[in-house]
Structure 1
Amino acid sequence: MTIIQAKIADVDDLQARRNSAAENLLRQDLSAIESIEATIEIIDVGIGKEPEYLTVGKTPLERVHKLLSKLDSIRVSKDKGSMLSKAMDGRFHKYVEPVESIFKNLPKPLKWQSFLVHDLILLTDIPSNVQKASVKHDLNKAKI
């Protein structure tokens, strides 16, 4: 008889999604695509309580991509010394701290800017048949 450890927790649907995605990130056999998808799920759950965020896309991938792209665009404008509208500056401050906190607390922490530039493009710019093949053959990011 095999004994496995189990943890029983009383959580809502959002927390259950986050827990599932976080557990997936800790798997040893996780492909690059699966890791990116799990990270997207964690971000989407973390920011998904904001009604404004939920209106920017139909899928977690669309929402996360638009959010991180907008934050990066605002960040670049600020770095160049450009004047931002109050709405843009407010949006930046509303979302950047929660996003940074989510990335800092991932099972494998990373910077959101790096995720946007190096990881997210594998789901937004690579055809789905290539993504599926990369999962099947357990390809790392460099081989996709």
Structure 2
Amino acid sequence: MTKLLLSLHVVAAVVAVGPVAVAASMFPRILRRAHAISDESATTLRVLHRICRVYAGVGMAVPVFGFATASSMGVLGDAWLIVSIVLTAVAAAVLILMVLPGQRAALDLIQVASPGQTGAVDGIPPGAGLAMSAGVFNLLWVTVTILMIVRPGSSTGA
């Protein structure tokens, strides 16, 4: 049963977190170009935002299968797992509190921007905060992935 749960956990992480990581990273770059290009960029941004929103919901399966796997392995109290859980919660908070609202706000601005606008707001290029938030989100997930593979004190000999 542990192998099945672990497989479901890993597949859920790849299928759910991967698209969010890629779409969140692409959004700021497309946003910088969207103010100078056409509605095609705005459409692309809406699709990227939808990918982030939908797969964020699908991503709820990752911790569910993760807790089930950890419970069946008897490692719920291990330090590496607790750190992974905390980092996963921080990544979720970054996504929910920074990335998704930032994308939504950017989409709202694009819809009302006039064609000749540069898109800079108070001298800050659009997407600067979004790029940082997406980077932090991705860095947190890379750290969690490394912890899941290395598992300090594990019996795998890695």
TM-score normalised over the length of structure 1: 0.29
Between Structure 1 and Structure 2, the one with more helix by share is: 2
TM-score normalised over the length of structure 2: 0.27
Higher relative contact order (CA 8 A, sep 6+): 2
Greater Rg, structure 1 or structure 2?
2
